[in-house]
Chains A and B, each alone.
Chain A
Amino acid sequence: MKKLINSPETLLEDALAGMAAAHPGLRVNAGARVITRSSGKSPGKVAVISGGGSGHEPLHGGFVGLGMLDAACPGEVFTSPVPDQVLAAARAADTGAGVLLVVKNYTGDVLNFQVAAELAEDEGITVETVLVNDDVAVEDSTHTAGRRGTGATLFVEKIAGALAEQGADLATVAKTAREVNSASRSFAVALTSCTTPAAGRPGFELPEDEIEVGVGIHGEPGRRRERIRPAKEIVADALDAILTDQPLSADDETIVLVNGLGGTPLLELYVVYNEVATALADRGIRIARRLVGNYVTSLDMAGVSLTLCRADAAMLALWDAPVDTPALHWGG
């Protein structure tokens, strides 16, 4: 294992100290492991809070700031935060208008946030939870853990965050957050595995000429293994998986995320975006807004995830609303 760390044990604390030093807009409580806005609370505003395992940066800490999250709680690498962290974030961010917890659908995240929500409610904090579950590579069934939350988390946090910033109440923010999740689908492929500092070696071994298709963001193997092919064909398969699950018609407008998984050159992500744009144009589907870059990563994994959100005019307006965070910044 070759990593720019001092030790696996101090990785999280060192990285949090670095985030605090690099971004004056963030306030990092190292003891509680909670990141909030240094501007403090806006009276009467609904707080949007998220969290999850570390290793997905800039998700979630990099999305704390005006127009997006009020607080984030990073867990250990690929491990959900503990309830105490989420409770500390809720206490730090609640103005009395309630908090929306944005939770990616993994058993650990769901359980820890559920315990935290109960503790917060015991203290008189009103809590709503939205589960993000956009990954079509996972078979969805009531008998399983259900679909994973991946790239759509960014869409939910941006759009719900903008609505909260405009002064909407908790029920309205939660409803919109759920609508964004319902309108979004993702699919990912990996060219390499990733190495967690605790394991010290890759989660799986891939031969030079093979890819994992249908991976998540935790270094676990995907649904199947295939030969590497031109980007055009890989994108076509990923879009097929997404559009089979949620057909889009010619009039639909979309927000598209071409997301690097941490170890992919931006040059290659633009190749992928070009193929996505061409393929969607062929189907008459309009890309109204797009993002290309590393936003929801899986440590050092090379690969890409595609996320499509069918967006109505209200969602697009909220997407365009000003945002000022370490990772997303526009408008205002």
Chain B
Amino acid sequence: MDIALARTWVQAIAAAVDAQKDQLTQLDSAIGDADHGANMQRGFVAATAALAEQEPAGPGDVLVKTGSTLISSVGGASGPLYGSVFRAIGKTLAGAGAGSEPAADARRFADALSAGLESLQRLGAAAVGDKTMVDAYVPALEAFQQAAEGAGDGGKAGDFAAAARAAAEAAEEGMRATTPLQARKGRASYLGTRSVGHQDPGATSTALIFRALADVTAAVR
């Protein structure tokens, strides 16, 4: 992943959030407070605007800026949670290279995604099965790591795209698997057993973020 790809990824997320805003809001309306679509849209509109104003040093810089903007503009739980995920991914990419950041290969990006999960779970304290973003993120990370390991040293662009595609598919499977779960974290947990039968909005937006990554890396290939 280089600067251009990182920017394109954030723009693709913004476009996907814009297109699926109503679906996110409807899912949140059923078991939450009906603001997830509007919150995600506000955050990614602000993030793309912030990126247009700066000359980033590398892909890590792009993602750190994205995360900071999400924290300052979203509110709700999704602001700090997604914000810290993007900041952790960006910091790992930036920290890996000395001086000017090189493009990240699939293995390094897998490490960055792993740091993102750590940050997400430190703040949100959710585990797999709690019916949250984590239910899409964990399988996506595992699929990405597996594909990145298989890619061998160097990790060509095609390998990155294959890993991203595997991650997107795993995230969507994890997202769908939240439907029968009873929520233990977030607003949906207040409903107790009545949260069963609804797909989690947070897992849905996480799947959307991984799908956007697969789409932009496939386009580069």
Q: Which residues of A contact B (CB under 8 A)?
A: 53, 75-84, 106-108, 111-112, 114-115, 137-139, 143-145, 148, 196, 198-199, 201, 203-204, 216, 218-224
B78 at interface, CB cutoff 8 A: yes
Q: Report B-chain residues with C-beta under 8 Å of the C-beta of A53.
A: 33, 35, 75-76
Q: Are A111 and B80 in contact (CB under 8 A)?
A: yes
Beta-carbon contacts under 8 Å, B22-41 to A: 25-26, 29-35, 37-39
Residue from B26, B34, B37, B123 whose CB has the most chain A CB atoms within 10 Å? B34
Instruction: Give the CA-CA distance A223 to B192 in the complex, in Å.
Output: 7
> A107 with B186: in contact, given A78-B34, A82-B72 (CB under 8 Å)?
yes
> A143 with B184: in contact, given A112-B79, A198-B25, A199-B29 (CB under 8 Å)?
yes
Q: Are B35 and A79 in contact (CB under 8 A)?
A: yes
> Size band of the B side of the interface?
35 or more
Q: Are A111 and B25 in contact (CB under 8 A)?
A: no
Instruction: Give the CA-CA distance A78 to B38 in the complex, in Å.
Output: 11
Q: Are A76 and B75 in contact (CB under 8 A)?
A: yes
Query: Chain B 164-195, CB within 8 Å of chain A: the 1/0 string?
Result: 00000000000000000000111111111010
Q: Report B-chain residues with C-beta under 8 Å of the C-beta of A220.
A: 31-33, 187-188, 190-191
Q: Report B-chain residues with C-beta under 8 Å of the C-beta of A222.
A: 191
> A115 with B34: in contact, given A138-B190, A216-B190 (CB under 8 Å)?
no
Instruction: Give the CA-CA distance A145 to B132 in the complex, in Å.
Output: 12
Q: What's the minimum C-beta distance from B160 to chain A, rounded to whole angstroms?
A: 31
Q: What's the minimum C-beta distance from A79 to chain B, rounded to whole angstroms?
A: 4
Chain A residue at minimal CB-CB distance from B76? A108
Contact among B37, B39, B191 with A76 in the assembled complex (CB-CB below 8 Å): B39
Majority-rule SS of A interface residues: loop
> A111 with B194: in contact, given A83-B71, A220-B32 (CB under 8 Å)?
no
Q: Report A-chain residues with C-beta under 8 Å of the C-beta of B76.
A: 53, 75, 79-80, 108, 112
Residue from A106, A111, A196 whose CB has the most chain B CB atoms within 10 Å? A111
13 further contact pairs, Cβ within 8 A, besides A76-B75, A107-B185: A75-B76, A79-B74, A82-B72, A84-B72, A111-B79, A111-B81, A145-B189, A196-B34, A198-B37, A199-B25, A203-B34, A218-B187, A220-B187
Residue from B29, B33, B35, B188 whose CB has the most chain A CB atoms within 10 Å? B33
List 14 A-B pairs, Cβ < 8 Å: A53-B33, A76-B38, A76-B42, A79-B35, A83-B80, A107-B124, A108-B75, A108-B78, A111-B81, A112-B76, A148-B190, A201-B29, A203-B34, A219-B33
